Amino acid sequence: MQTRQCWTVLANKAEDHCSRIQQELSSLQQRLDGLQANERRLRQLYAEYHERLSRPGAQSHGMQDAINQRQFMRQLTELIDKVLRDQSILHQGLKQARQQLAEAQREKLKMQALIEHDLHRQRIAQKLQEQKQMDELGLRQFHFRHA
């Protein structure tokens, strides 16, 4: 009985699919880490500018300077909001990629189980074939002795 190569090919494809999804997960996680670092930097910068504006006895450089600082802080707030939206999108992408990975791993396990089942069937068929040959040999010897 021949081994079915289709299960091995399908198992390899499932393994490749799992690897691709894991690489995608890694890439998404790196992007998320970068966005989180950007958020921390933006929040720190915002806090520094906020402290400058609210510091008692701070030297005022005039109305235009205060307007510029407030405008810059508003832009920082908008950037923080954008980073948070991007993080939310990436979190959703990570969730979907994890679900895809779980599905791909189930498929891979299924293919491996089919390979093992096929090998088990081959071993049983081989044992039956060997037993049949042993039975035939025993019958020949029996007939040879009594002939």
CATH number reported for the structural domain that contains residue 18 in this entry: 1.10.287
Cβ-proximal residues to 25 (8 Å cutoff; 6+ apart), any chain: 94, 97, 98, 101
Q: How confident is the model at residue 61 (pLDDT cuts 50, 70, 90)?
A: low
Q: Range of 68's domain?
A: 5-146
The overall pTM is greater than 0.85: no
What is the tens place of the pLDDT at every residue in 63-120?
777 788 889 989 999 999 999 999 999 999 999 999 999 999 999 999 899 889 998 9
Q: Which two tokens stand for residue 134?
A: 């042993």
Closest of 17, 13, 12, 28 to residue 104, by C-alpha: 17
What is the tens place of the pLDDT at every residue in 14-52?
999 999 999 999 999 999 999 999 999 999 999 988 887
- State the total domains in the chain: 1
